[in-house]
């Protein structure tokens, strides 16, 4: 007996999802992409031959003229069906496109906005395993064209005439008669002369195709629509639902694949939800016996499940926990119940809105998120082929001044924590008993500073260094090294007490004396003051800096060599010694 197994509602939890991509398929996809990158077309053709996708003398690339010939070879009713279906999909997609436009808004001192532009090349995949799927060709390629994509490439293995004809109707530029991971790799790399590298690849597929999309999105730099898994349908039903209709809708998804998931969530005002499940299961058995695709649908039904809920609230909770690809609401006050549901790919409201209408082109796209990913994304739409590019222009600097001041303040706030950490480390590691003031400011070009700037009984000298990247900063802080003070372009003024010394670590490949006359990003000037005797501190100046090290002259102002050595210990950044006195060219690094 093949029926939906009954589970408790409490066992259906949010986030209970399977791995989106099979590990073995991922490894195969990586290997395939590497082969295609290394060998090009021969690798794709070799894999196509391995899987029997191309017969003797058959071309891998089908051009627009051949697509038109396939369309012309169909009967009039078949051509008209494709035309009408494409038109309905196009109307919906164009309505989506109109919902998003360019924006311009005032900002202090100027204007900002965004521009919406389609990608240049889209790859649209349609499965071709058990059955031809011209509907998937229409859903993907028509949508790409409605978005404004200039070049649309359709790929599908062993295409029938109806598949090629659908590509023509959809406005495909060219057709790749190959499938699987190697087809995705070919779309992502543009190895065929007549098929440019795709910016976005979309469309459903088996685990090999899904894995290839995942790999190519990372290793080939292409966008993808989603990582689609096995098809799903969840039907919320009460006593008013016709069990035969509910069963038929469940089987319509079950026959897609042996791993498809049909799910029934029944609720009853009279607390008789179990009886609803029993009646639907009875219909499933009857219809399966005469279903031509029983061999595929029966395993899927066994893998599905049913939940008998005590209330509509419980039914909605279960549906949201599953977050199904297709959600049907077949009950009294169906719209009100549907409005309470939050997570689904496509919603079908009422007994007349059969899910099969969505599959076969009534308007909305049938390429929908599976495996609970509808919690954060939606189905294929023109938006997957669009780029939102922001811009700004400043015309009046005076009017922009408040925003500039806020930017400086925020930069100070963000950098203060980093500087404070560095100051504490310096104090702890180097010790000292002299009160110091430290000022750090961004400079667009490093300039030589005066060697001595008298100010009462204070003496000031200036150090300059390249800041390291933020990851270097974090790494060095974690290892308690003497580190760069900042990874920001704008840094704050900070007062730090009891500094005995200060080191700024620069990039090893740049010497400061070579950078003085160049405009180098991330150059900062570090100025600090120390109370002391001017006569005891000769020769302090930027010429004493090598690779970011501070090498002050003799007297009480120099770092204590022993303390510094103890602080640095085995630090690999320690490379030098102290040379004291008279403005010598000493160095730390």
Task: Write out the catalytic residue numbers.
Answer: 325-326
If residue 248 lies in a helix (H) or strand (E), which one and from where to where?
helix 243-254
Report yes or no: 483 and 425 within 8 Å, Cβ to Cβ: yes
In a 13 Å sphere around the CA of 237, the CA atoms on its Cβ side amount to: 28
Using CB atoms within 10 Å of the CB of residue 105, give its burial: 0 to 12 exposed, 13 to 18 middle, 19+ buried: exposed
Let me know how long the chain is.
Answer: 589
CA 202 vs CA 29, 71, 140, 214: distances in Å: 16, 23, 7, 11
Report yes or no: 326 and 253 within 8 Å, Cβ to Cβ: yes
Quick one: how far is CA 39 from the chain centroid?
Answer: 29
Query: What is the token pair recorded at 565?
Result: 């050595």
- Residue 429: CB atoms within 10 A of its CB come to 18
CA 221 vs CA 29, 185, 205, 349: distances in Å: 15, 11, 20, 39
For 369-426, give the DSSP string.
Answer: --TTGGGT-----GGGGEEEEEEEEE--HHHHHHHHHHHHHHHHHHHHHHHHHHHHHH
The residue to which tokens 């730099």 are assigned: 221
How far apart are alpha carbons 506 and 464 in whole angstroms?
A: 9
Using CB atoms within 10 Å of the CB of residue 53, give its burial: 0 to 12 exposed, 13 to 18 middle, 19+ buried: buried
Query: What is the token pair recorded at 267?
Result: 């609720």
Looking at residue 310, the DSSP 8-state letter turns out to be: S
Report yes or no: 318 and 9 within 8 Å, Cβ to Cβ: yes
How far apart are alpha carbons 532 and 20 in whole angstroms?
A: 67
For 223-242, give the DSSP string.
Answer: EES----S-EEEEEE-TTS-
């Amino acid at each position: 007996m093949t029926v939906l197994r009954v589970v408790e509602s409490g066992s259906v939890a949010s986030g209970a999802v399977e791995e989106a991509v099979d590990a073995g398929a991922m490894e195969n996809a990586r290997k395939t992409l590497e082969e295609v990158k290394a060998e090009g077309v021969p690798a794709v053709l070799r894999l196509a031959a391995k899987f029997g996708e191309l017969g003797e003398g058959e071309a891998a690339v089908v051009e627009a003229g051949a697509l038109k010939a396939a369309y012309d070879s169909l009967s009039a009713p078949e051509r008209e069906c494709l035309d009408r279906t494409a038109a309905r999909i196009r109307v919906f997609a164009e309505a989506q496109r109109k919902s998003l436009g360019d924006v311009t808004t005032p900002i202090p001192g100027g204007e900002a906005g965004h521009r919406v532009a389609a990608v240049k090349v889209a790859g649209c995949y349609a499965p071709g395993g058990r059955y031809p799927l011209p509907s998937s060709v229409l859903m993907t390629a028509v949508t790409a064209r409605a978005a404004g994509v200039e070049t649309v490439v359709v790929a599908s293995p062993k295409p029938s005439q109806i598949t090629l004809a659908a590509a023509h109707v959809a406005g495909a530029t060219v057709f790749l008669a190959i499938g699987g991971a190697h087809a995705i790799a070919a779309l992502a790399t543009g190895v065929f002369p007549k098929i440019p590298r795709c910016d976005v690849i979309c469309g459903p597929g088996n685990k090999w195709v899904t894995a290839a999309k995942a790999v190519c999105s990372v290793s080939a730099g292409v966008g993808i629509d989603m990582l689609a898994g096995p098809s799903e349908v969840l039907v919320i039903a009460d006593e008013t639902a016709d069990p035969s209709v509910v069963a038929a809708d469940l089987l319509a998804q079950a026959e897609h694949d042996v791993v498809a998931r049909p799910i029934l969530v029944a609720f009853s005002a009279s607390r008789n939800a179990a009886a609803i499940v029993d009646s639907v299961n009875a219909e499933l058995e009857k219809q399966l016996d005469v279903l031509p695709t029983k061999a595929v649908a029966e395993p899927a039904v066994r893998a599905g499940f049913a939940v008998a809920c005590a209330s509509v609230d419980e039914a909605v909770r279960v549906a949201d926990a599953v977050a199904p690809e297709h959600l049907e609401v077949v009950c009294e006050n169906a719209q009100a119940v549907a409005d309470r549901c939050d997570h689904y790919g496509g919603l079908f409201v009422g007994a007349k809105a059969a899910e099969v209408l969505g599959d076969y082109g009534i308007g909305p796209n049938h390429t929908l998120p599976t495996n609970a990913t509808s919690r954060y994304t939606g189905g294929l739409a023109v938006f997957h082929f669009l780029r939102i590019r922001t811009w700004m222009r400043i015309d009046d600097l005076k009017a922009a001044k408040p925003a500039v001041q806020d930017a400086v303040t925020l930069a100070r706030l963000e950098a203060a924590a980093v500087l404070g950490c560095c100051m504490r480390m310096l104090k702890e590691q180097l010790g000292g008993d002299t009160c110091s003031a430290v000022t750090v400011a961004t400079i667009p070009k490093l300039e030589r500073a005066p060697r001595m700037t008298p100010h009462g009984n204070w003496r000031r000298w200036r150090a300059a260094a390249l800041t390291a990247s933020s990851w270097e900063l974090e790494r060095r802080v974690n290892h308690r090294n003497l580190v760069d003070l900042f990874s920001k372009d704008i840094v704050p003024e900070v007062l730090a007490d009891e500094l005995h010394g200060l080191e700024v670590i620069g990039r090893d490949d740049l010497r400061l004396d070579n950078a003085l006359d160049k405009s180098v990003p991330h150059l900062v000037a570090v100025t600090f003051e120390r109370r002391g005797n001017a006569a005891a501190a000769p020769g302090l100046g930027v010429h004493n800096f090598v690779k970011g090290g501070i090498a002050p002259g003799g007297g009480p102002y120099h770092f204590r060599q022993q303390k510094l050595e103890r602080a640095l210990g085995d630090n690999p950044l320690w490379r030098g010694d102290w040379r004291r006195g008279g403005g010598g060219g000493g160095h730390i690094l």
